[in-house]
Amino acid sequence: MGGWGKGRGIIFMEDVQKQQAKIAMPIDRVGVKGLRQPIIVRDRESGIQHTVADVSLSVDLPAEFKGTHMSRFVEALEHWSGDLDYTSFRTLLDDIVVRLQARSAHVRFVFPYFLRRKSPKSGASCLMDYTCRVDGYLKDGKLRFTLGADVPVMTVCPCSLAISDYGAHSQRAEIRIRTRFHGFLWLEDLIEIGESAGSSPVYSLLKREDEKHVTESSFSNPTFVEDVVRAVGKGLADHPQVDWYTVEVESFESIHNHSAFAVMESQDIE
């Protein structure tokens, strides 16, 4: 029998996805990724910020079903408000669970978040972008919500500085912060905790007097990758809204053909 039929002027289409799977094994997540969606994010200085997110949407799939209905993910996103906060995120996940008749759903938004930064000496102003992300996992009506930011910093090697007659090797490092929290947590808080942990923040725009200041101040504050991850961990542990965190710091070494990294994770509250 074909995938569709016709009777009394009505076209009937077979629901192939609901057919029995040949291999009856459950799938943890099945869905779509690579969607692009305009979103509105809370901005501490301006109130709101408009940006664009890369979106992934998925659900669990029981063993007996052959497939899921991929178009329903896009329909759910189309009907979503685009306002990236806890309430609207929960609404999107609830809608996906209903549309896909699923037990659990996962949504991920990865987006650039822009802050205006002033150079340390000249005061020259320029936008800096930070890769941020929101993950939501809804299962049996319970939502787990994770907020994160990737923060670039500069690090100067303490060992190199101590043993060298001239200078020391320095490099850019990336701090990847993921948190769960209660109340409201600003992305700016995560970014500031990260930027304060390195030898120096990095900037989009530096004049000569700024470069001199950044170089000299960073060499007076050398940091191992271990120092950076501990400083970020302490900053998050001390934050009144943060309940759980994980931090990874990757140092893109300038004199080695590899990266150095360190990871810390707090005790899970659940």
Q: Tell me if 14 is assigned to some domain.
A: no
CATH code (residue 209): 3.10.270.10
List the one residue out of 50, 33, 57 whose CA is nearest residue 84. Answer: 50
What crossing angle do the helices spanning 187-195 and 225-238 adopt, rounded to 10°?
140
pTM of the model: 0.88
Q: Tell me if 51 is assigned to some domain.
A: yes
Identify the pLDDT of residue 14: 52
Identify the pLDDT of residue 127: 95
Angle at 70 between CA 59 and CA 20, to 5 degrees: 75
Q: Tell me if 53 is assigned to some domain.
A: yes
CB 151 within 8 A of CB 188: no
Question: Which residue range is the domain that position 108 belongs to?
Answer: 22-265
Q: Tell me if 6 is assigned to some domain.
A: no
Identify the pLDDT of residue 261: 97
Identify the pLDDT of residue 3: 41
Q: With left for phi above 0 and alpha for psi between -120 and 50, is residue 103 left, alpha or beta? A: alpha
Q: Tell me if 54 is assigned to some domain.
A: yes
Cβ atoms within 10 Å, residue 269? 8
Q: Tell me if 7 is assigned to some domain.
A: no
Identify the pLDDT of residue 2: 38
Identify the pLDDT of residue 17: 54
Total domains present in the chain: 1
Identify the pLDDT of residue 21: 53
Identify the pLDDT of residue 1: 32
Q: Where are the alpha helices (DSSP H) in the chain?
A: 71-78, 86-100, 158-163, 187-195, 208-219, 225-238
Positions in the chain short of pLDDT 50: 1-6, 16
Identify the pLDDT of residue 22: 62
Identify the pLDDT of residue 11: 59
Identify the pLDDT of residue 64: 79
**Rg of the chain (C-alpha set):** 24
